[in-house]
Structure 1
Amino acid sequence: MYLDPLYFVFALPPMLLGLWAQFKVKSAFKKYSRVPTQSGVSGSQAARRILERGGVGNVTVEATHGMLSDHYDPRHKALRLSEEVFSLASIASVGVAAHEAGHALQDKTGYMPLQLRSIMVPAVSIGSNLGPIIFMAGIFLAGTLGTTLAWAGIALFGATALFALVTLPVEFDASRRAKELLVSQGIVSSAEMKGINAVLNAAALTYVAAAAQAIMQLVYFLSIMNRRDS
């Protein structure tokens, strides 16, 4: 299975897309981290302004360690920004901060894809790790037990692929909200949106790549089962 040439047919394209996406994100963030906002607003200030204008008063804005470790934690109602995003008044910083604030607004309005993604987290944490292991164990075992295990592994990993698909509208919508709010609230000008678009569109590409990788791996597993049954 490890030397199956077909694996590379399924795995290589999304893997290359993922590497390209990571390059685009780092390149865009590095470039626009050096471009200050005309308003002088930092990432943390932009996030707080968006949250206040959106009526989200129960979410804290905190600094956290790690480059591009920015995320919104719906369980603890905390918007955590990497130190650079938190403190710098740059195009990249306010873009990333506004995107994460967009997730908090989704949470407040009960945005369905975000709720579905949150519900799926426990199953995905199990499926992404155990799914492939159970699948491979089933492939190496003969008979009904092996087939049952293999399909169980596929079902578990299928949750990971579904999670990646559900993530797409969540991330796209957060970026859409961020772009609208940054301009409407005077945090950036229309002329500065070129940099915002570059940073957020590059970030969106990473989620597309992750979804492609999960789906193609799932399709590969299904192709193995098809060959096994034929």
Structure 2
Amino acid sequence: MPYMFFDKTYILIIIGVAISAWASSYVNSTYRKYEKVSNKKGLKASDVARLILRDANINGVPVQEISGDLTDNYNSHTKIVSLSERVSESRSVSAIGVAAHECGHAIQDDVAYMPLKLRGALVPVVNFGSKISIPLILIGAIFFSSSPLLVTIGIWCFALTFLFQVVTLPVEFNASRRALAVLAENQALDDEELEMARKVLTAAALTYVAAAVASLLQVIRLVILFGGNRRD
């Protein structure tokens, strides 16, 4: 059984954590920078969200305020755009960019955007796989000579998290593109403000790239730790 708790492969975990921390810090600093810039029309982010949904002919999708800091989301099951307290009533370019992004997901849902549907379908599978992956790997490692298949299945179950992150990338990038296109079309933001919103959404997208890289590094670590032993 590999010596799991003190091994050189922890460097992969450290790299993943560092990348994720940098991405999180970058998006927060970018958001704060343009949070100080109010849009020239004086529109609140929640009002812009409703305008976007109206212009997209999406009816029956309410915009609500929820607690938390940057907990904004669109729920494809309840068909609700939820904006955090920090975003909902703000008139900043950052807040409008975030609100527009969530509306981008609502538009994806309305047009049956395939990657969004695929991501939704993967959620229960990934949740189940993430719960059983480590137990399967540990059981397979302890009884390795008789249960190498368990380790293989466990690693594949863990790899579902990486697959989910990969599928998430086009969903998030596409939502941002849709958001920026709508903001330009309805002229909620002028060209200068639109560029600021683009920087906020680009920074946010990097967090999803970082999450995918971190997941991949974790999968690689498991393969290094247990892959060789399957050939013993």
Letter in 2 for 1:6: T
Unaligned stretches of 5+ residues in structure 2: none
Cα distance in 1 for residues equivalent to 2:131 and 2:71:
22
User: Following superposition of structure 1 onto structure 2, how do residues 124-203 of structure 1 map, counting pairs within 5 Å?
Assistant: 124-145=126-147, 147-203=148-204
SS in 1 for 2:227: helix
Q: Hey, what does 1:6 align to over in structure 2?
A: 9
SS in 2 for 1:143: coil
Structure 1 range deviating more: 90-99 or 130-139: 130-139
Cα distance in 1 for residues equivalent to 2:201 and 2:15:
22
SS in 1 for 2:81: strand
Cα distance in 2 for residues equivalent to 1:162 and 1:204:
17
> CA shift at 1:222, angstroms?
1.6
SS in 1 for 2:63: strand
> CA shift at 1:5, angstroms?
0.5
SS in 2 for 1:72: strand
> CA shift at 1:198, angstroms?
1.9
Cα distance in 1 for residues equivalent to 2:80 and 2:165:
23
Number of corresponding residues: 228
Cα distance in 1 for residues equivalent to 2:6 and 2:153:
23
Q: Hey, what does 1:31 align to over in structure 2?
A: 33
> CA shift at 1:188, angstroms?
0.4
TM score, norm. by length of structure 1: 0.95
Q: What's the CA shift string for 1:92-118, capped at 9, x where partnerless?
A: 110000000000000000100000000
TM score, norm. by length of structure 2: 0.94
Cα distance in 1 for residues equivalent to 2:138 and 2:32:
41
Cα distance in 1 for residues equivalent to 2:75 and 2:213:
25
Cα distance in 2 for residues equivalent to 1:102 and 1:118:
16
Q: What's the CA shift string for 1:139-197, capped at 9, x where partnerless?
A: 2333222x222112112112111000000000000011111111111110111123212
CA RMSD of aligned residues (A): 1.3
Q: Hey, what does 2:119 align to over in structure 1?
A: 117
> CA shift at 1:219, angstroms?
1.6
Q: What's the CA shift string for 1:72-96, capped at 9, x where partnerless?
A: 0000000000012111111011000
User: Following superposition of structure 1 onto structure 2, how do residues 200-219 of structure 1 map, counting pairs within 5 Å?
Assistant: 200-219=201-220
Work out whether 1:83 is the aligned partner of 2:94. no
> CA shift at 1:55, angstroms?
1.1
Letter in 2 for 1:31: K
> CA shift at 1:225, angstroms?
2.7
> CA shift at 1:28, angstroms?
1.3
Cα distance in 2 for residues equivalent to 1:5 and 1:182:
48
Work out whether 1:108 is the aligned partner of 2:110. yes
Q: What's the CA shift string for 1:4-53, capped at 9, x where partnerless?
A: 11231x22222211101100111111121111011111111111111111
